[in-house]
Amino acid sequence: MRFASMRGAAGIVAVAGLIIVAGTLAWTQEPVAPLAHFHHVHLNSTDPKAAIDFYTAKFLAEKAKFAGVADAVLAADRWLLFTKVNTAPKAEVTSAIWHIGWGAENMQETYQKQVASGTTFQTEITDISDQGDGKGGNGRFFFAYVDGPDHALIELNTAANHSFGHLHLLSSDPIAASEWYVKEFGLTRRGGAPSRELRFRKGRQTAPAVSLMMDNVNVIIYPVGNAKAAFPEAWKGREELESTKDHTIDHVGFRVENLDAALARLRADGVRVTEEPKSILGGKVKYAFIEGPDRIRIEVIEDRTAKD
């Protein structure tokens, strides 16, 4: 509840959250605190230093120390964190995390600059303006996939700015997965209720799909059929998505205010905790791991060093 001043001329009186407006009673409510914030993407790398150099040279991002101790990348106030591994991590698109992405105001110009700087692309610049409206390529929307360190897939696409912009996921049921993220971590849905209509573009399934937002990060969920068509060799003899653990993009992290309370709520909802809570830096950072939809690995972190 909140207190407000008396404004007699307007016929409004508020006492301890009770508002009297022209003889009508109503209660005000404090804004509800978000369930979580988008905190980080965590990658496995055989050479974290080289990976950090790459991300900060190629994209709008800066070198920083996570919690003041770990070399990392800060991109649009969100972290890219790295774990050093001795053998190459899995790069095949066979888990729920497809890729991460940055925007570009002028995609054609950005692409040419990237090529000139020696960037390797898994997919060259492509006009997919027809995907949403069916009017054919008209230069409104371009994308390309960068072949990143340890073969991380990184999208560059037409956007209003050059910032770290999105996380693209895959799911056997994108709508159900989106409902889970909305309920358990408070992501918000873009647009109206998603349709279950099947849609395809050049033989690759593009719908049902859902677009969510959290802290200016767009979380997009596509049907797994897209990956099966795009990467048939990786999907030979495979039907279901595997855990993101040990992949180049290993997991994502959501920050909560109170880890114990968050885990209690998640457990009550039937969410599986895969790694029990641990703490570092004298308790300033606490974390645990859960399994989300389609076996995605999610770190739930209470980070007292963070700023919103």
Q: What is the pLDDT of residue 33?
A: 82
Q: Stretch 276-294: mean pLDDT, rounded?
A: 97
Q: What is the pLDDT of residue 192?
A: 87
Count of residues making up the chain: 308
Contact 297, 243 (CB under 8 A): yes
pTM (two decimals): 0.88
Q: Stretch 204-224: mean pLDDT, rounded?
A: 97
pLDDT category at 27 given cuts 50, 70, 90 is very low
Q: Over the chain, what is the mean pLDDT? A: 90
Q: Of 93-107, 136-150, 205-219, 275-289, which gets the smallest average pLDDT?
A: 136-150
Q: What is the pLDDT of residue 135?
A: 59
With the C-alpha atoms ordered 265, 242, 179, 100, is the resulting torsion angle positive or negative? positive
> Residue written as tokens 């804004």?
31
Q: Stretch 131-153: mean pLDDT, rounded?
A: 84
Q: What is the rounded distance in angstroms from the CA atom of residue 299 to the CA atom of residue 39?
A: 9
List pLDDT tens digits, range 215-269. Answer: 999 999 999 999 999 999 999 999 999 999 999 999 999 999 999 999 999 999 9
E strand or H helix at 49: helix 48-58
Q: What is the pLDDT of residue 130?
A: 81
pLDDT category at 131 given cuts 50, 70, 90 is confident
For residue 82, list its beta bridge partners.
Answer: 43
Q: What is the pLDDT of residue 19?
A: 36
Question: What percent of the chain lies above the pLDDT cut of 90?
Answer: 83
Q: What is the pLDDT of residue 136?
A: 59
Contact 266, 184 (CB under 8 A): yes
With the C-alpha atoms ordered 155, 210, 92, 88, is the resulting torsion angle positive or negative? positive
pLDDT category at 308 given cuts 50, 70, 90 is low
Q: What is the rounded distance in angstroms from the CA atom of residue 49 to the CA atom of residue 27?
A: 54
List pLDDT tens digits, range 167-189. Answer: 999 999 999 999 999 999 999 99
Instruction: Decide if pLDDT at 3 tops 60.
Output: no
Query: Other C-beta atoms within 10 Å of 278: how many?
Result: 11
With the C-alpha atoms ordered 181, 146, 158, 37, is the resulting torsion angle positive or negative? positive
Instruction: Decide if pLDDT at 35 tops 50.
Output: yes
Q: Stretch 5-24: mean pLDDT, rounded?
A: 37
Q: What is the pLDDT of residue 196?
A: 96
φ and ψ of 154, to 5 deg? -130, 120
Instruction: Decide if pLDDT at 134 tops 70.
Output: no
E strand or H helix at 185: helix 174-185
Contact 183, 254 (CB under 8 A): no
Q: What is the pLDDT of residue 29?
A: 55
Q: Of 6-10, 101-105, 275-279, which gets the smallest average pLDDT?
A: 6-10
Residue scoring higher pLDDT (134 or 262): 262
Contact 255, 39 (CB under 8 A): yes
Q: Looking at this protein, which amino acid is placed at residue 28?
A: T
Q: What is the rounded distance in angstroms from the CA atom of residue 176 to the CA atom of residue 210?
A: 10
Instruction: Decide if pLDDT at 21 tops 90.
Output: no
List pLDDT tens digits, range 46-92. Answer: 999 999 999 999 999 999 999 999 999 999 999 999 999 999 999 99
Q: Angle 208-292-302 (CA atoms, 0-180°, nearest 5)?
A: 130
Report how far apart, in Å, the C-alpha atoms of 22 and of each of 11, 12, 217 are.
6, 7, 43
Residue scoring higher pLDDT (221 or 7): 221
φ and ψ of 184, to 5 deg? -85, -25
195-226 as b/e: b if 16+ CB within 10 A:
eeeeeeeeeebbbbbbbbebbebbbbbbbbbb
Q: What is the rounded distance in angstroms from the CA atom of residue 168 to the CA atom of residue 220?
A: 5
Q: Which of 94, 218, 80 is nearest to 149 (CA)?
A: 80
Q: What is the rounded distance in angstroms from the CA atom of residue 1 to the CA atom of residue 83?
A: 44
Q: Stretch 142-162: mean pLDDT, rounded?
A: 97
Tokens of 62: 């800066």
